[in-house]
Amino acid sequence: MPVDKKQPMQPIPSVWTRPQRRKREQPALSRDQIVAEAVRLLDEEGIDALSLRRLGTRLNAGATSFYSHVTNKDELIELVVDEVYGEIEVPDADAADWRGAAGGCARSLRTAILRHPWMASVLGGVGAAYLGPNMMRISEGMIGMFRKAGFPVDEADYAVSTLTAYVIGMTVSEAAWLTMLARSGGSEREWVERLLPAAEEAARSHPQLQEQYAALRGKDPGTTRDDKFDYGLQRVLDGLAGQTDRKER
């Protein structure tokens, strides 16, 4: 009878899961140098400009200089995403102040994404990005924060996912808007002032929208975005706080 030999499971393709190649000699470039320059390229020119060839030109290096660190564009994106996650702070919290810590973490995540708007186009489709060291640090800190608040381990995971989904959902649209503004060369206030008359005209038969647009006149649009984000954030935290209240009864 033929022997049933199961093929070994292949690792998920990711820079974090593939075996590291043996280095025959010290590479000309370090991973930190490659990632830092890739982030600068992305910040300056956006995700469509990223390629190993383009990056090699900026670093004055050939593809072989990358080989021991990164083998394709997908791996490079995993590395730069985790690099940006390194900017996110997870405040220490005790049981009494978990809400303040959660809010601080959410705002830090939003700030990082808006500082690097290209992140909006890659979040959610970045391989095993959650295995990166910075993402692992953030996840550990946030789960610990909700555990201190009284959430069991499974609900702590759900709470982290809920909070993160809110931040990313709000911030992706903000990042797209800011990217459009950067390409146009105009300021956010200038764009809003130019758009409002057309919006008000289009809303002539919609009194609720008319009132909303009228309330925006004279306001700083950046402050309005901040206020909208904080309003939603507080409602998410209200919901999570209600869950802890039910457990204490």
Query: CA–CA distance from 241 to each of 4, 143, 164, 227, 238 (Å)?
Result: 54, 15, 16, 21, 5
Is 72 a member of any domain?
yes
Is 203 a member of any domain?
no
Residues 160 and 236 in one domain: yes
- Given this model, what pLDDT does residue 6 score? 62
Is 40 a member of any domain?
yes
Residues 64 and 123 in one domain: no
- Given this model, what pLDDT does residue 247 score? 56
CATH number for position 69: 1.10.10.60
Is 197 a member of any domain?
no
Is 162 a member of any domain?
yes
Count: domains in the chain: 2
Residues 99 and 151 in one domain: yes
Residues 69 and 36 in one domain: yes
Q: What backbone torsions phi and psi does residue 147 show, to the nearest 5 degrees?
A: -65, -40
Residues 38 and 138 in one domain: no
- Given this model, what pLDDT does residue 42 score? 95
- Given this model, what pLDDT does residue 125 score? 64
Residues 35 and 145 in one domain: no
Based on DSSP, count helices (H) and strands (E) in the chain, helices before strands: 9, 0
Residues 67 and 169 in one domain: no
Quote the distance between the C-alpha of residue 194 and its chain's center: 30
Indicate the residue type of 130. Answer: Y
Identify the domain boundary among 22, 53, 85: 85
User: 105 lies in which domain range?
Assistant: 95-185+219-248
Give, for all 249 residues of the chain, the pLDDT tens digit: 555 556 666 566 677 667 665 555 555 788 899 999 999 999 999 989 998 888 988 988 876 677 678 888 888 999 999 999 999 999 887 767 899 999 999 999 999 999 999 998 887 665 566 788 999 999 999 999 999 999 999 999 999 999 999 999 999 999 988 888 888 888 899 988 888 889 889 999 999 999 998 888 889 999 999 999 999 999 999 999 987 765 555
Residues 107 and 81 in one domain: no
CATH number for position 119: 1.10.357.10
Residues 73 and 100 in one domain: no
CB atoms within 10 A of CB 58: 12
- Given this model, what pLDDT does residue 101 score? 93
Residues 124 and 81 in one domain: no
Distance CA 22, CA 180 (A): 44
- Given this model, what pLDDT does residue 179 score? 87
Is 193 a member of any domain?
no
Residues 79 and 99 in one domain: no
Write down the residue that tokens 């499974």 correspond to. 154
Residues 67 and 99 in one domain: no
- Given this model, what pLDDT does residue 53 score? 87
